[in-house]
Chain A
């Protein structure tokens, strides 16, 4: 083996000579057209030590966004397009706008009426009646008309001012673009050096065309709409009714009504066809809820209270226990005891069902990447869909009341436990799984002894998240007839009853805090183990 010996001269940083040839070639390759100009511009930027830009790109100043688009500096394109549009709209308003039009029109009308009254006055005179009343009216209206005319004149004078402001802005933006263009383009060049594949370079015809098309689409219509006094009606609102009528040939209905009716019929049909299934689901949920309700409400209240306080103490310590006792006292003294226990039963039933379904699903998704990939969009949908949206199909299929409310809560609350269980399962180190298999573990033993214990912290974090999400949702289900404290709030909202609403709100807050504290405490203890 021979070591290559190369002379490496060490030069002080201040004496390092700048090798411009390679750099120039690279800048030329980047800029393609007008390479020499950008070589010079970038050199100026590279050797600048202060902040203010010391180059001015005339093309960018004159062409504006068109230059930025053609050179694929799209951020600059959009930014200055909007700014220039504002300037152009001002100019347009100044040039073609008729700001006094409204008052001119009003003045004309007033003059007409004044003439009318004068006519009536002369008619009255001829008839031998007293014309003073009409004369006075005509006089007043004429005065008002004069006032309107003065206002119109003032506004029209303002038009010139608007025009000048617009021109000023335009000049300012053009200058800004001229100064900023090379700086922005140099930044793009630096990015291009790192990633030549995805950062565009040069002046590609594709980009020129795109920029022109965008400008033509956006600028004229917008300027027209803001400038002209009464633009075409089509531009004000989307003509969906006209499209329904002219394109689809509907007479009375629109696309909207048609689709809605069709959907409604489908949902009704589906609800009827699957009535048996939906009823049995509801019955199942109801039985879980009933069991919990009996446990919480059927049991004498002192027992339940003591049990809750002791659980709080054991899992989260004396402080939380004292807080829990105080919260329970508040709830009980204000007469919310039974209704609060109903809320707890609703949350409990939701969480129970979420966990019973969610953990096995999570284990499956953790083991099968393909299953997880199929399920992920569904999970995303469950979490991102606003609750109000899926309340409607739930009413359609399951009716109203507590069990459908629990189903809605489950939709909202289940994704975290599934996701975090899957995450935990995937996080179990392969080496430990392999060791268990090497010692003869079966799949069941692997799951029981290795995978679930190692994934447990993650699974518990998922359960905790699910509990919190169920708690927040259980208030909303009062909208579809769910009971509990949510109903108290809903009623207070409907009658704008401030006092009861606030008291009920605090009751919910305390419920949530107690459950959260107890669960957090329990999980923290388990984590420390």
Chain B
């Protein structure tokens, strides 16, 4: 579980004709974005991105449009070349790969799903799913077998011989996911895969996707502009703003301790009931002077929803335990504040 699959160190992307000069100036003089634009007419797409993703982890990158999240993720399969920085995928430096090696890595180790599906309209669903294998030169019989198996994983049995345009948006995106899975890659790059779908289908696909990835143990980088989606799907979330990663953390950490006002504004509307666990709002036992006899007890992993259920029936605080040990209490005011997101 501790193996690092994707490793980004100080990745910069500066767009424009004079990006190298701009990069040098950034490194030597430490100039900021507006100066880069003014002096070199270059736009900073990604600014000093550093993070690691572990095997089997779903790492969400969340940000509004134009925040550089799509640009960032395209560095991982080198659809975009970094201006500076190191990108390691499965221990190989992606930037140093030769043309043919890079194609090999793309075809075998990194699958990608796109916002607008990007299926080939003239090919059947089966041939779309098999296309990454076809690029690798896998014979047709094998391709078809793999396609059919992968389509089974995404519940699309019976649609193999249809054309993409005959399918609904949600089904098309499942074809896109199947295509990304067909070559059994280690890493999945999901570029806002569910953004173009309607909310109900989106919820369904999020759950299906989470279960599927957990089952297949794929390392996933998942881009979204929707914090709800990031929280539902991600083990960890990176929040980007104007090309900078503002905060990286688990959904709970982000919701409870937003790094700045920008993140705080995002987090405000998020329901904390299922997200915040007892251990992050627990108070010391000494806070309560009265007797705790008959007080309800909950494990430190219980979420706010469960704590509310316990607190409703009594005037006493809820006692939080870790194993057999009592580690603290949660009073009602504390609980209410917790629902608000840790406001003091």
Residue numbers of A with Cβ under 8 A of B are: 429, 431-432, 434-442, 445, 449-450, 453-454
Q: Per a CB cutoff under 8 Å, which of B108, B114, B135 touches A441?
A: B135
Pick the 5 closest A-B CB pairs, nearest first.
Answer: A440-B107, A435-B118, A440-B106, A439-B132, A440-B103
B116: which A residues are within 8 A, CB to CB?
429, 431
Known contacts A449-B120, A454-B122: A439-B79 contact under CB 8 Å = no
Give Cα distance in the complex from A440 to B102, angstroms: 8
A432: which B residues are within 8 A, CB to CB?
118-120
Nearest B residue (CB) for A438:
B112
Q: Per a CB cutoff under 8 Å, which of A435, A440, A445, A450 touches B114?
A: A435
Q: Check: B274 CB closer than 8 A to any chain A CB.
A: no
Give min CB distance, B107 to chain A, whole Å: 3
Instruction: Tell me if B120 and A439 are in contact (CB < 8 A).
Output: no
Name 29 A/B residue pairs within 8 A (Cβ), A-sorted.
A429-B116, A429-B118, A431-B116, A434-B79, A435-B114, A435-B119, A436-B135, A437-B106, A438-B77, A438-B110, A438-B189, A439-B107, A439-B111, A439-B112, A439-B131, A439-B132, A439-B135, A440-B103, A440-B106, A440-B107, A440-B135, A441-B103, A445-B135, A449-B131, A449-B134, A450-B120, A453-B120, A453-B122, A454-B121
Q: Check: B48 CB closer than 8 A to any chain A CB.
A: no
Give min CB distance, A447 to chain B, whole Å: 13
Q: Check: B104 CB closer than 8 A to any chain A CB.
A: yes
Give Cα distance in the complex from A445 to B137, angstroms: 11
Give Cα distance in the complex from A436 to B118, angstroms: 9
Give min CB distance, B316 to chain A, whole Å: 39
A449: which B residues are within 8 A, CB to CB?
120, 131, 134
B118: which A residues are within 8 A, CB to CB?
429, 431-432, 434-435
Q: Check: B142 CB closer than 8 A to any chain A CB.
A: no
B120: which A residues are within 8 A, CB to CB?
432, 436, 449-450, 453-454
Give min CB distance, B150 to chain A, whole Å: 14
Q: Mark B59-89, 1 if CB is under 8 A from A, else 0.
A: 0000000000000000001010000000000
Instruction: Tell me if A435 and B112 are in contact (CB < 8 A).
Output: yes
Give min CB distance, A10 to chain B, whole Å: 34
Instruction: Tell me if B136 and A440 are in contact (CB < 8 A).
Output: yes
Give min CB distance, B94 to chain A, whole Å: 13
Chain B CB within 10 A, most for which of A434, A435, A442, A454? A435
Q: Per a CB cutoff under 8 Å, which of A439, A450, A453 touches B106?
A: A439
Known contacts A445-B135, A450-B120: A438-B104 contact under CB 8 Å = no
Number of A-B contacts (CB under 8 A): 60
Within 8 A of A (CB), among B19-40: none
B104: which A residues are within 8 A, CB to CB?
440
B79: which A residues are within 8 A, CB to CB?
434, 437-438
Give min CB distance, A460 to chain B, whole Å: 13
Q: Mark B181-222, 1 if CB is under 8 A from A, else 0.
A: 001000001000000000000000000000000000000000
Chain A CB within 10 A, most for which of B103, B108, B183? B103
Nearest B residue (CB) for A529:
B122
Give Cα distance in the complex from A437 to B189, angstroms: 14
B179: which A residues are within 8 A, CB to CB?
439
Give Cα distance in the complex from A429 to B122, angstroms: 13
Give Cα distance in the complex from A439 to B121, angstroms: 16
Give min CB distance, A502 to chain B, whole Å: 47
Instruction: Tell me if B106 and A438 are in contact (CB < 8 A).
Output: yes
Known contacts A453-B120, A454-B121: A442-B103 contact under CB 8 Å = yes
Nearest B residue (CB) for A435:
B118
Give Cα distance in the complex from A438 to B136, angstroms: 13
Give min CB distance, A526 to chain B, whole Å: 11
Instruction: Tell me if A434 and B114 are in contact (CB < 8 A).
Output: yes
Give Cα distance in the complex from A377 to B110, angstroms: 44
Give Cα distance in the complex from A318 to B271, angstroms: 68
B119: which A residues are within 8 A, CB to CB?
432, 435
Other A-B pairs, 18, CB within 8 Å; known A436-B120, A438-B77, A440-B108: A429-B116, A429-B118, A431-B115, A431-B116, A434-B79, A434-B114, A434-B118, A435-B119, A438-B112, A439-B131, A439-B132, A439-B179, A440-B104, A440-B132, A449-B134, A450-B120, A453-B122, A454-B120
A437: which B residues are within 8 A, CB to CB?
79, 106
Q: Per a CB cutoff under 8 Å, which of A431, A436, A442 touches B131?
A: A436
B189: which A residues are within 8 A, CB to CB?
438
Give Cα distance in the complex from A442 to B179, angstroms: 18
Give Cα distance in the complex from A454 to B118, angstroms: 12
A434: which B residues are within 8 A, CB to CB?
79, 114, 118
B103: which A residues are within 8 A, CB to CB?
440-442
Give Cα distance in the complex from A450 to B132, angstroms: 13
Give Cα distance in the complex from A439 to B120, angstroms: 13
Nearest A residue (CB) for B113:
A435
B135: which A residues are within 8 A, CB to CB?
436, 439-442, 445
Give min CB distance, A454 to chain B, whole Å: 7
B102: which A residues are within 8 A, CB to CB?
440
B114: which A residues are within 8 A, CB to CB?
431, 434-435
Give min CB distance, B17 to chain A, whole Å: 15
B136: which A residues are within 8 A, CB to CB?
440
Nearest B residue (CB) for A439:
B132
Give Cα distance in the complex from A310 to B287, angstroms: 96
